[in-house]
Amino acid sequence: TPLHPFLAALPKCEHHLHLEGTLEPELLFELSRKNNITLPASTDPAFGSVETLLARYKTFKNLDDFLGYYYIGMSVLLHASDFEALAYAYFSKAASQRVRHAEVFFDPQAHTSRGVDLAALVEGFKKAQARARADFGMSTELIMCLLRHLPPPSAMETFSQAREAGYFADGTLAAIGMDSSELPFPPPMWKDLYDAAGSGGIRRTVHAGEEGPASYMTQALDLLDAQRIDHGIRAFLDEDDKLIARLVRQKTLLTMCPLSNVKLNVIPSIADFPLKKLLDAGVTFSINSDDPAYFEGYILENYCALQEAFQLSVRDWESIAKGAVMGSWCSESRKEELL
């Protein structure tokens, strides 16, 4: 597209990126050999090779079909050095696409349930963050996501463990989030957890309105006091005008992921992404990559896919980029630098 060089050079913020979703098949197989983790190739031939796995990633039926591969893939991660390698590979790739500030998710329960210590995860990620700062001048924040498909007490226990380790107080973790399957696990299930975070002054975001209806987004705001919503596309697909007006009024950041939405069949094609509605309504949103190793595109590919479908102006993109800076969870002085 004609704007490609402009989009490539545009300074970016990423707010919706699962570190485990950046595990490229090459590193997945390398770590499975190194750590002696057997992949289920006997029951699923997709795990036979890098090529068969990439071919399998071409189409997912829905969120859960993808999540099956996502959780098996991340089972090869064991040591602090594995988590450091994963995160640093992502930060390097993001720097090459001019990401200046990244707020990234990880799923502690998916690792602690396999016997990996929370401290090992944090140690590896922090080393990668320090290298990203030194090598690329990139600011990064970690957001701990709790898993909806596990029982609420497991989420509460993981949150408490992180809080008792001082990770929120010392800035190691910037916020909590909530991810995994959406429809069977609505926001009311997580009220105690979000109340505990809110009363402790801890920032809160929630994946909502991806496969779940717009009403889950309203519940996330009302019951969980969410300060940000990850995805939130269903407000527009369901045409919930009252909710949209509220998002505008409250300046709630929506961290949107267009290529992910197409790959997981939330929308039939990129042309169905409600970009014009977002811009016309004046919603604060950012464009992000979600799980780039699985969805055939990092942040720049998401920007370019939208540009090809919608032919935005330079001014549209500058206003999207500015909204992303303003919605970031960084200091006011860092925002000045990013603007």
Q: Which is nearer to ligand ADE, 71 or 136 (CB)?
A: 71
Catalytic residue among 20, 103, 141, 210: 210
The C-alpha angle with vertex 58 and arms to 56 and 64, in degrees rounded to 5, equals 70
- Token pair belonging to 301: 């590919």
* Residue (17 or 338) nearer to ligand ADE, CB: 17
Q: Is 210 in the active site?
A: yes
188, exposed or middle or buried, with CB in 10 Å at 0-12, 13-18, 19+? Answer: exposed
**Size of site (CB under 5 A) for Zn ion:** 1
Minimum Å distance from CB 331 to Zn ion? Answer: 25
Mention every residue, 6+ apart, whose C-beta is less than 8 A from residue 146.
109, 155, 158, 159, 176, 177, 178, 179, 190, 193
Measuring CA to CA, how many Å separate 78 from each of 219, 232, 246, 259?
36, 33, 43, 29
Phi and psi of 228, rounded to 5°? Answer: -150, 155
- Residue 260 Cβ vs Zn ion, minimum distance, rounded to whole Å: 7
The answer to whether 82 contacts Zn ion (rule: CB under 5 A) is: no
Query: What are the beta bridge partners of residue 103?
Result: 141
> Rule CB under 6 A: which residues touch ligand ADE?
18, 21, 63, 70, 179-180, 207, 210, 260, 290-291
Min separation Cβ 21 and ligand ADE, Å: 5
Q: Which residue is nearest to Zn ion (CB)?
A: 290
Beta strands in 70-147 (DSSP E): 99-106, 139-147
Q: Residue 63's binding partner, choosing from Zn ion, ligand ADE, none, with beta-carbon cut-off 5 to 8 A by kind?
A: ligand ADE
**Residue 290 near Zn ion by CB under 5 A:** yes
Q: How far is the CB of 66 from ligand ADE (least distance, A)?
A: 7
21 binds, among Zn ion, ligand ADE, none (CB under 5 to 8 A by kind): ligand ADE
Catalytic residues: 210
